[in-house]
Every structure is written in structure tokens, then in C-alpha cells.
Amino acid sequence: MTALRDDFRLYIDGAFVTGGASFESYDPATGQPWAVMPAATTADVNRAVEAAHRAFDAPEWANLTATQRGKLLMRLGDLVATHAQELAELETRDTGKIIRETRAQIGYVAEYYRFFGGLADKVEGSHLPVDKPDMEAWLRREPIGVVAAVVPWNSQLFLSAVKLGPALAAGCTIVLKASEEGPAPLLAFAKLVHEAGFPPGVVNIITGFGEECGRTLTAHRLVSRVAFTGGPATARHVVRNTAENLAYTTLELGGKSPVLVFADADLESAANAVVAGIFAASGQSCVAGSRLFVEESVRDKLLAILTAKARRIRIGDPQDPATEMGPLATARQLGHIEQVVAASLAAGATLVTGGQRAEGLASGNYYAPTILACAGNEVPCAAEELFGPVLSVIGFDGEADAITKANDSPFGLAAGVFTRDLTRAHRLIRKLRAGIVWVNTYRAVSPIVPFGGYGLSGLGREGGAESIRDYTRTKSVWLRTSDAPIDDPFVMR
């Protein structure tokens, strides 16, 4: 048996440490353990938060100008770009995400750090025209304090960047918890933070399990801000935890994103976007377009195009650049998808293609690209976020019916619209309950554009220029301009 890699460490107060516990991390492509990871105990979490708290007021960080903070972030972005290949290989090994996608995504993550680095000295206060002639008043924006950031295993370097970037640009310090499922790339990323020259304690990167690590972190009395990405069930625990410290909290959660295809759309283009939206990353994306609504007159035609494309997808070793779809991240997730697909078929869904483990692969968490034709949103595969390569296809008759069916979900993260009628597109943009609406495209991202959801898809927004304000608080300042003595408050005039 090959020896497990054991050089991963927690990053606390500028030092790489083993932590109080450990666990094995499994390669989703083989189902076998490949590395031993450190697990943060309560004591480790306390040390990390206390280090961040000290660093927040330490002159090495607190006395930096905003421009100097921005230059550190720019340097971090450059280091991410330089080490993108190494980070991509680690993310692929530990999560099963295909190498062609991790390379592209991590290369672009560097732009997020550069973007937020450029924003660092653009955070402005404001002068307030108060109604008192001998007073001046203004607002200062100051860093909120210690940030607890929690990210899942999927797209973790990207999801970390939209938290670390604005937090550090604003002048906060941070403890970042990587998921215990696939933490390798973030633990390796800590070396780049160290090399970039951030003072000790400003950035701390840990991993560990929910109760001892996650709960201790999000409930910690020294944490002022929580930024969480994950599922609604865990988010509810996070919200309960913050009742202890009343930390300002944002939640970026999952979705059952609808894609609406009208009869006048370019069906080939729409089909390519649908395939990218649900089968890229094996469907393990918060914005996965898992519910496809098709106008009845073109439903059969589009379904035929999609079926042919799904069956041609090359499934296999995620480290092979030719692979188009890799395994699911965990065996638990694979089992869950099998159960929901079975329940959906029992509830009346029709299997179009897939619906089983991928053929020809003896080991690993591989599931075939799956398309299910459904009568409506009540079918389990259309109602539940699966986080896998399963597409539910539902017909609609007219614009009003499409909107009603698309909005029939407690989630509201993203939506896609495919039509050549731009007046219709504008009507749908207004009426779809989603934090992102893509028109004639899908899964486009940029550091300039914020994202976030409605309903069970979360609270708050990440990315974009405004997100840096969520890591600040305002301070109201009053300055009396008169030289005359203040009147005796007990003498009535």
C-alpha cells in the first residue's frame, strides 16, 4: 500500500502546526485514502481566533495604509497565478473536480485578489450636512474585526477569495475553515499567504469537523463577522451559533436553479449552456442549472439534443485533461443521488438517460450524466438540491406558466433564460426570483459582479465593489466648530 501523504498543516499565527487531531482524506477517483489531514480541536480554534484578534490591533497590520494592504493582496494574486497548476492538481486529487476546470478556475481566482487589492484604498466615508450650524458630522468606515469564514469543498479557492479578498482589503483579520472533505488546496494556499508577507495572525487557515471546529469558530466571542458558504441545514446551525456572539453573518447557500428555454431560442447554443450548467463539475455547483423548463413545442427536439450530448460526455480520471466529467466528491453523495433518483422514478419521473453509476469504472464515485423527464416540481429530483449530474426536465406552455414553474422553489440563487425576444427577456429578469439571471448564457462570473440568492439560497452578496462594505462598520463623528463655551445644560433659556 502506498504511504499516505502527511505534510499538510494548519496555519495559525504565522506558523504551520499539526493540530490536535487528524483524519484521512479520500481520493474520489479511487475511493482510497491518499493523505492524512490535520483536524483543528477546540484549543486550535481558540488559538487561531485569539491570534487574529491580536493581529487586528497589532501595528504591523493596523498601521498599514489601505494602499499597502492592497499591494499585499496583489502579491497574493500573483502567487496564486504562479502556483495555479500545483493548486489545481491538489484540488483535483482531493475533490475529484476535473483538472481542466480546476486549472481554469484557479487561474481566474488570481483576478479576484487583484480586484480586491485595487479596492482596498477606495473605501470612502461621507460628510453629512447636519442641521446644526456649529457642527460638522461625517461617517468613517472601519474594519469590522475578526472574520470567521467557512467554505465547502467545491470551488473552495474561489469561495475563499470572495471572503478573504474583501475582508483583508477592509483591514479585517480572518480565520478560514476549509471543509474536512477535500481541504488540501486551501492548506497548500496557506503557504502562499505566508510568502505574500501578511503579518502573523492576520490570516489563519484551519480544517476540522463541525461540532468541535465549526461551532467553536462561528460562536467564538472574539468573532465579529461570519461568512458562510454551504447548505441550508448547516447554515441554520451557524445562525444559532452566532446567537452567542451576535456576529454579522452572510450566507451563500445552494439552489435549484431554473433554466428556461423558449421556442425561439438557438437550441444548440441553449443545449451547450444547459450541459455546462448541470454536468460541469459533475453538477456539484451552487448555481447548477438542475431544473430545465422547455416550451412544449420544442421540448422533444431539445431533449434529443441534450440526450445525445450527455451520452457523449467523457467520464474518467479527473487528472486526465481529456476527461469531461469526473467523480462525485464523496461516496455518501453518490449514495444520496442514487436514492433520490430511485424515489423520483417511483414518483413518476421518466428516465431519459443515465440513472446509474458510470459504466467501465470499477472504483471511485462516478455517476452517469442523468436526465429525468418530470411532470412538475413535486418530483423529488426537481424539488431537492442534489449536488450531482442530474437534470430534471419540465415542459411549460407560455411565459406566465414558465415564470410560475421556475419560481416554485424555496431556493433562488440563479436562473437562465434562452430567447431571442429581448422584451420577453426583460420581463423575465424582473419576475424571476433569483439573485443572478443569465440571459442566453450560463455560469458566467467576474470579480466585478456580485452574487447571492433569495430564500433558502442565502443572505447577503459576495463579490463586486459593494462586498467590501460588508466587512466594515460605520463610525459617526461629531465635531463642534464654535469656540464659544457650551451652555450650562441646567440653565433654561
Residues known to be catalytic: 252
CA 449 to chain centre: 14
Run of H or E residues at 312: helix 296-312
From CA 380, how far away is CA 342, in angstroms rounded?
A: 9
Computed over its alpha carbons, how large is the radius of gyration of the chain? Answer: 25
Q: Are 57 and 213 in contact (CB under 8 A)?
A: no
* Residue among 298, 303, 296, 291 nearest 398 (CA): 296
Count helices and strands (H / E) in the chain: 15, 22
From CA 95, how far away is CA 97, in angstroms rounded?
A: 6
* Count of alpha carbons within 13 angstroms of residue 38, beta-carbon side: 21
Rounded-to-5 percentages of helix, strand, coil across the chain: 40, 25, 35
Per-residue cell: 237: 446551525
* Residue among 376, 387, 446 nearest 409 (CA): 376
The DSSP code sequence of 46-113 is: HHHHHHHHHHHHSHHHHTS-HHHHHHHHHHHHHHHHHTHHHHHHHHHHHH---HHHHHHHHHHHHHHH
Three-class DSSP category at 169: helix
